[in-house]
A = this chain, B = another copy of it.
């Protein structure tokens, strides 16, 4: 019932709020948080309404309370444990990125069909051969997967993940996966994003 966009922004708010909290700030106005996140004050107020957090006109929103509220919103009974499949350049970069404990998110298992990349620890993450998918997903109770395999393999891999109980996928392969409609897919299509950026660049020099 909370919209996808609101969920995205709540994640963003929390990150900035955590930074502010670390800096000892204890309250913030909607317009200030909005500016940090490049959104409008009205959107911030509506989003916070939607998670049931209320501020006051005097000091705005209490940061610690708000963080706790957003944490609760994101809290899930399922472990936040994530798998990654496809240990290529981008896969490795993601493993490195998340192993740094940048967030409470954890990539718990990596997979690849190339034996030379598996049976080892990469950036604190154990790397398994794809044949162990079922076993490891069951054992660790994984629900979210990051797909990083080449486009020709992506659909097959997605099906394997879904068969084994994965219900949410972050897909970096440049295709659109066909999955049952109860499975969530978020595509990160870098070529498309870059093409868009080029399209919206302006050719005229300044001055």
| Chain A residues with a Cβ under 8 A of chain B | 4, 7-8, 11-12, 15, 36-38, 74, 76-78, 80, 82, 88-90, 92-94, 96-98, 102-103, 105, 143-144, 146, 165-170, 174, 176-178, 182, 184, 186, 188-203, 205-206
Given contacts A92-B89, A191-B103, contact A197 B184 (CB under 8 A): yes
Residues in B with CB closer than 8 Å to A15 are 174, 191-192
Verify A203–B169 contact, CB threshold 8 A.
no
Known contacts A192-B8, A196-B4, A196-B11, A201 near B76 by CB under 8 Å: yes
A77: nearest residue on chain B (CB-CB)? B203
| Number of copies of chain A assembled together | 2
A136 to chain B, nearest CB (A): 16
- Complex Cα–Cα for A105 and B198 (A): 9
Q: Give the nearest-CB partner of A205 in chain B.
A: B165
Cα A122 to Cα B97 in complex, Å, equals: 20
Q: How distant is the Cα of A191 from the Cα of B15 in the complex, in angstroms?
A: 10
Interface of A is mostly: mixed
Which chain B residue shows the least CB distance to A37?
B176
- Closest CB in chain B relative to A155 CB, distance in Å: 11
CB–CB B188/A201 < 8 A: no
Q: How many Å from the CB of A14 to the closest CB on chain B? A: 9
- How far is it, in angstroms, between the C-alpha of A196 and the C-alpha of B205 when the chains are bound? 38
* Also in contact, A200 and B105, with CB within 8 A (given A93-B92, A189-B12): no
A143, B96: Cβ atoms closer than 8 Å: no
Q: Would you call A188 and B197 a contact (CB within 8 A)?
A: no
Complex CA distance for A195 and B7, rounded to whole angstroms: 9
Which residues of B have CB within 8 Å of A146? 194
A175 to chain B, nearest CB (A): 8
For the complex of A and B, the 7 pairs showing the least CB-CB separation, nearest first, are A168-B201, A89-B93, A184-B200, A38-B176, A78-B203, A143-B201, A167-B202
Closest residue of B by beta carbon distance from A12: B192
For the complex formed, measure the closest distance between the CB of A160 and the CB atoms of chain B, giving whole angstroms.
14
In Å, the complex CA distance between A190 and B76 comes to 19
